[in-house]
Chains A and B, each alone.
Chain A
Amino acid sequence: MLPMARPFCTLLRSPGAVALWLLGAWGCAARPRLEVALPNPPHSDTMPIAEPGTRFVSEAYDLVENNFFDPLANLLDVPEHLGRARGRPREAANLNAWDDVEDSAWFEHRNGVRPMTPEEIVRGPNTGTGPDTSAPWTIVSGGAAGITPKFTIRDVRGNRYIIKFDPPDYPELASGAEMISTKLFYAAGYHTPENTLVFFDPAGLAIDPKVTVVERGLVRPMTQEDVRSLLRRVGRGPDGRVRALASKFLEGRPKGPWDYEGRRADDPNDRYEHQHRRELRGLYVLAAWLNHEDARQGNTLDMYVGEPGKGYLRHYLIDFGSTLGSGATVPHSRVDGSEYFFDLGNIMRRAITLGLYRASWEPVADRPVHPSIGHFTAEGFDPAGWKPTYPNPAFAQRTARDAYWGTKLVASFTDEEIRAAVRAAGYSDPAAEDLMLAALLARRDRILRHGFHIVTPIESPEVTYDSAGTLILRFEDLAVRYGLVAREQRSYTARLKHAAMVIERSTTGRVEADGRGTVRFEGVKLTRPLPAEARGRVATLEIVALDGEGRGRSTPPANVYLLLDPATRRYRVAGLAH
């Protein structure tokens, strides 16, 4: 296995480091804050690199690491605890000046920046129409590994696909979930495989002579009887054809899974620790929406894209069979998404109360809402309390800003776009489609109600001046835009600070008739000489949103960074942080 950079290893091997660490944390806490500086643009991660080796990680090891080692390491992360206690948690490392990420080998802005049409949502990552069914497929590898059978085929065009099946008692369950989640994760911006629903006649399957199976420890060629035996465990339609999901082999050469923690030492492009990447922290919100409880490194893949020595690693999310109401081989249970595999907090609560403690999922009925959907509803769904099966290091590091960023991704999906993704599942029963759509919409709305209240949700700030020289900041308030707060009920307090110019002014604002929030600073006069260095030219405009004429609850402030133009002696917007 190739090494990953792991902070916990350092902690374990060097007890003396703990003392230095604590001293460092104390030093950080005592140091005065620096002058505001805008972040540098994130590093590009698609530069040519030498072809890395392949990582191997076993599922059992991943279970132990994520359930025991990492939670312990997080518990001992004193600087992080101090920072959170002071309201200053460690923010994501790969941010640009707009509190966002640049397009990269991890993430590309799609629906959140330019709304996709329903047709584009349905097409998703697909560049074709799936495996060619005009000629028999040839099984080139695979067999009976896993509970649900799957194998790899090559079509007449020479493309390879992994063919995955649904559990016999739950037709369309896993394939439907995987289709919907693929479309939505892709449209949100993540890299996903090309997945296609296929219906085929198993009688037409050929077997490559090199394909073997292991029987009682002996390796022998695969036969048609092996295929028939394997397909007896999958369901069929009335016409005898088999429904399956065809997942096309990804472009490039596989280099093993990527971890949600640390960096890949053999990838020079991998400069940010994964748990501090915004797109992985913010993925929590999408994972909660789609109940991607199996978000662990076993369901990720690095692909080396390009010629040897000229390519780079592209980072994929793969295998969405355990999303929504599907647990791949069985429906999800009510506990999936509500409790970690080994949830120490709930364990202690039950132990202390002699088993009388009831977790939030326990009152929820544990039955599938539909055989093709499994257990997937908005009942009991808590956008901030949702949990993957294993504690995920990136999810655990998420801050309110990361969650807000993820909420914006979820909010970017309209009802019609979600309906289009659900249709891609090809449910044979319209009732299943309706139930799935209703659950996704209800969960999305809960996410919005939560995510647009944990920060001041302003976007697209712009500064103008009127003829009297009044500084006017206008912005879009997403809580107002999505109808979570009435326009008349929304107000703002704002404070302009520019230490280099000895300016500190406060004012209030409200939502104008055109729906945009507005604050005005009258009489901001720049009497001092302009500082020469760039840092001294940055001013901060802090905005707090209030519900209900200032008497309601307020949200943590958003900071709009203003840059003073020496020529015009006026400010312009240079950045934003929530």
Chain B
Amino acid sequence: MPDELAELVAAARSGDRAAFEELVRATSAETYTLAYRLLGNEEDARDVVQETYLRAYKGIERFRGDSQFSTWLYRITANCAATYLGRRARHRHDELSDEAPLADVSPDRDPQGLAMASNLRDRLNEALEQLPPRLKAVIVLRDVYDLPHEAIAAELGITESAAKVRLHRARRRLREQLFPLPGEEEEARAV
């Protein structure tokens, strides 16, 4: 953790409200990015960011510094996003099935897609957005943010083995879509 952030964390832990507000300013864009990746829309991401910092504020005395502050914040964000997704699913009947079809992000089929998916990063972001939320959550937390399997399982309220199964399923779907092997190309295009 950079020294400046460590000092802010220490001050915030001892009840310094101004230090906590500085922490919010320093980390809000990253927290928002993770929330947006998990939820897929700006409004929901903003709600989750607010809830994340409220929980962080209430719990900062318990942050012992065993992990980085950013990792601790990612865990809270993941937990808030999971709660939010659960609530949203109940209200909007979101598609939670792992087998939901993906939109076509293969650039050579769709001229508009070709313009938008100009490089791998864009195509990957687009493919991630199309994943069902519960697959997206594990692959984002593990492969983008490096959270350990047990932390992911704990924050999403699932077992570690379920988290691993979802992770491998998500990797497979992205791999088949972005890097299809011979014979898989037709299948990927048929989706």
Q: Do A and B bind each other?
A: no
